């Protein structure tokens, strides 16, 4: 056992012994060493957690102190920011700069926003002779991914708690440790017993038990489209509400009047953020043919500046992929690609230990190819030429996904193109991420929205009272 081991589950405000003695090993993907063990939860553990959440719901749903509790939770979690960055660096391999700014910083900003929303709830509306009220949906099952392990937890948990729901959380078995830091903060903040419950385990066991549980009123899931489809089927059997944030294959459109240098630099950075393990990554760079050759050269040069290595080395800009399986999957996409390789590739040098893939750029990519259509989830960028705004929009929308995107060019023209993209978020000329704007996708990128007031409303029911 190591100091990072977490042998218990958190249910009903207590650290409890799991139903099974089986554990899950947590690996450091930069070294391939096991750094901790967590419980392999069971359906029986989920039953206990749902019962605790159900018992806590009646009082929490009408509690006047939800904003105060979330405010204290923010304070307690902020005091752990350095630990959060370190733990995410160890279990995910995120470079220290990203771990501090994004993996620790972003969830704190989101939590702050929900504490503020809870303090200023939207007033009831009157429509004709009806009073329109918003009520919490009930017990929420939150199933979260490994790539932004605390942010994705907070985006669900903070919103649900602000709305008056209680939660059963299953963090990813690949990166579960940071969720325990949230529980530590919740204990310190005095989150009432049963309001937040955590059961670690695998998707086929714990995730499936949550998705199909008759005591869970809503399932909020972030992850692959295939798993989201299975969760939808399980929840549909009892007509439970589902919110899904799934995959992406986002396009970054560079028009012929764009600031090319900035567009390429930011575009490559977006594609390689978190080692490319980002659902909103701009993995398709669409460039007007008049700028195409220069853009390809700039992208290759920019990719060469992404130093691969130890996440705790300040010089590292690209850490490992989360697991051997993920690394091999990404390498498979690279090896099968028929496009022109201009940077990286499977033969590019990387550290001998760890699940590393070199930053890779392909040019002359066929818009209908696997490389341009499938979510790779690694540091792989595809560059595609276009000849007109209409063609750029057609290529960008030629995807089963619709999560994010970017457009670069003169402001009004870029905005006009952005409005034509069938995607949930678009950044124009490098517009910064807004943690209170609605986040979610079109098509197979999901159902529902997270963050801000739109994220809060996902965890509410609407009631009309006639009088």
CA 24 centroid distance within chain: 22
> Is there a contact between 216 and 26 (Cβ–Cβ < 8 Å)?
no
> Is there a contact between 388 and 413 (Cβ–Cβ < 8 Å)?
no
Distances in Å between the Cα of 23 and the Cα atoms of 60, 168, 172, 177 are: 32, 19, 14, 13
> Is there a contact between 169 and 144 (Cβ–Cβ < 8 Å)?
yes
Please state, in angstroms and rounded to a whole number, the distance separating the CA atoms of residues 318 and 50: 39
Question: How crowded is residue 214: how many other Cβ atoms within 10 Å of its Cβ?
Answer: 9
Q: Which residues are catalytic?
A: 245, 279
Counting other chains too, the contacts that 107-112 makes at CB distance below 8 Å and 24 or more residues apart are 107/77, 107/150, 107/151, 107/153, 107/154, 107/155, 108/74, 108/77, 108/78, 108/81, 109/435, 110/151, 110/154, 110/155, 110/158, 110/435, 110/451, 111/70, 111/73, 111/74, 111/77, 111/154, 111/158, 112/74
Question: How crowded is residue 446: how many other Cβ atoms within 10 Å of its Cβ?
Answer: 27
Supply the DSSP symbol for 318: B
């Amino acid at each position: 056992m190591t100091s990072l081991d977490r042998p218990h589950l958190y249910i009903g405000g207590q650290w409890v012994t799991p139903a099974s003695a089986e554990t899950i090993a947590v690996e450091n993907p930069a070294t391939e060493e096991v750094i901790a063990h967590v419980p392999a939860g069971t359906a029986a553990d989920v039953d206990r957690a749902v019962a605790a959440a159900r018992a806590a719901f009646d009082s929490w749903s009408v509690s006047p102190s939800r904003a105060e509790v979330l405010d204290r939770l923010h304070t307690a979690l902020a005091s752990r920011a350095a630990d959060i960055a370190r733990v995410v660096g160890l279990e995910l391999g995120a470079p220290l700069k990203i771990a501090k700014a994004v993996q620790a910083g972003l969830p704190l900003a989101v939590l702050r926003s929900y504490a503020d929303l809870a303090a200023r709830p939207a007033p009831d509306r009157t429509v004709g002779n009806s009073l329109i009220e918003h009520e919490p949906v009930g017990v929420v099952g939150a199933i979260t991914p490994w790539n932004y392990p605390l942010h994705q937890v907070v985006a669900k948990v903070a919103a649900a708690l602000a709305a008056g729901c209680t939660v059963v959380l299953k963090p990813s078995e690949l990166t579960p440790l940071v969720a325990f830091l949230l529980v530590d903060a919740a204990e310190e903040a005095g989150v009432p017993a049963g309001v937040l419950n955590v059961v670690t385990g695998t998707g086929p066991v714990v995730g499936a038990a949550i998705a199909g549980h008759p005591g869970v009123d809503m399932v909020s899931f972030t992850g692959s489209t295939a798993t989201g489809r299975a969760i939808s089927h399980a929840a549909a059997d009892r007509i439970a509400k589902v919110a899904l944030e799934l995959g992406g294959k986002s396009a970054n459109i560079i028009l012929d009047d764009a600031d090319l240098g900035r567009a390429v630099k930011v575009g490559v950075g977006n594609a390689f953020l978190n080692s490319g393990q980002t659902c909103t990554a701009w993995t398709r760079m669409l460039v007007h043919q008049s700028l195409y050759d220069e853009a390809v050269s700039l992208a290759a040069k920019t990719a060469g500046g992404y130093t691969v290595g130890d996440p705790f080395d300040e010089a590292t800009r690209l850490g490992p992929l989360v697991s051997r399986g993920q690394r091999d999957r990404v390498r498979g996409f690279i090896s099968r690609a028929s496009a022109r390789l201009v940077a990286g590739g499977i033969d590019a040098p990387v550290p001998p230990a760890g699940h590393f893939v070199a930053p890779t750029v392909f040019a002359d990519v066929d818009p209908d190819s696997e490389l341009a259509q499938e979510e790779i989830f690694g540091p792989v960028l595809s560059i595609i030429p276009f000849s007109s705004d209409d063609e750029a929009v057609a290529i960008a929308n030629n995807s089963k996904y619709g999560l994010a995107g970017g457009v670069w060019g003169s402001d009004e023209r870029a905005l006009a193109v952005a409005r034509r993209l069938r995607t949930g978020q678009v950044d124009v000329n490098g517009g910064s991420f807004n943690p209170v704007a609605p986040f979610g996708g079109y098509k197979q990128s999901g159902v529902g929205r997270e963050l801000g007031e739109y994220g809060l409303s996902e965890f509410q029911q609407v009631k009309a009272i006639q009088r």
